[in-house]
Amino acid sequence: DDEFRLLGRGMSGGVNINHTSLENSRANVVDCLEQVFAGFPPPAHIDKLYVVFVGPVNILYEELKKFASVGEVLPLQESRAGLLAGTMHEEGILALAGTGSDIYYVRNEKELNSVVGGWGPILGDQGSGTWIGQKALRAVVAAIEGWGEPTLIRDLIRREWRLNKDNEMVRIIHRDVAPL
């Protein structure tokens, strides 16, 4: 609000249709919006909405209309939003490392260069959470098979995922949406 108080918060699954279905993307948007607007009597109103969305943004707009009216919508590229949020500057270098990884040089909205990254998990997103996770799991497999160094990660994974046998990782990694 005008006094910088957080009025709503939501968290859900992914929306990037490179990694999930359109139906799941929509369901995750709805789930998140329901959490955000849980404490508001409908209809809520948003004066200005800055949007950074790595998914089908039309789904966000369609579903948001069910919860709130919006005055002004300002779409931002992920790199520009990250630079503004982190530094309050409109020009600079931004390194992102989350599901994916990118390094950007941001000058203005019309001059944006991705210097490194952005290839996705199959082609290479070195430094991303996905890449780090894959390296960790491959180190565990190497330790199990005896051609790699022993690693504490093996015991941590067995405990966290409640594995009775190491090979139960295969089912979790290849079939389940998220290891629990």
Q: Is the same domain home to 132 and 168?
A: yes
- Kindly indicate the confidence band of residue 32, based on its pLDDT and cuts at 50, 70 and 90: very high
Per the prediction, the chain carries an average pLDDT of: 87
Is residue 68 within 8 Å of 45, Cβ to Cβ?
Answer: yes
Residue 1 lies in a domain: no
Domain that holds residue 67: 22-75
Q: What is the pTM of this model?
A: 0.66
> Considering the domain boundaries, does residue 12 fall inside one?
no
Q: How confident is the model at residue 111 (pLDDT cuts 50, 70, 90)?
A: low
The answer on pLDDT for 16 being more than 60 is: yes
β partners of residue 68: 44
Say yes or no to pLDDT of 118 above 90.
Answer: no
- Convert the pLDDT of each residue in 46-62 to its tens digit: 998 888 888 889 999 99
> Is residue 110 pLDDT above 70, yes or no?
no
In a domain, 8, yes or no: no
**How many domains, the chain?**
3
For residue range 62-104, what is the model confidence (pLDDT) as tens digits? 999 999 999 999 888 888 888 888 888 888 888 888 878 888 8
Say if 10 falls within a structural domain.
Answer: no
Q: Do both 140 and 170 map to the same domain?
A: yes
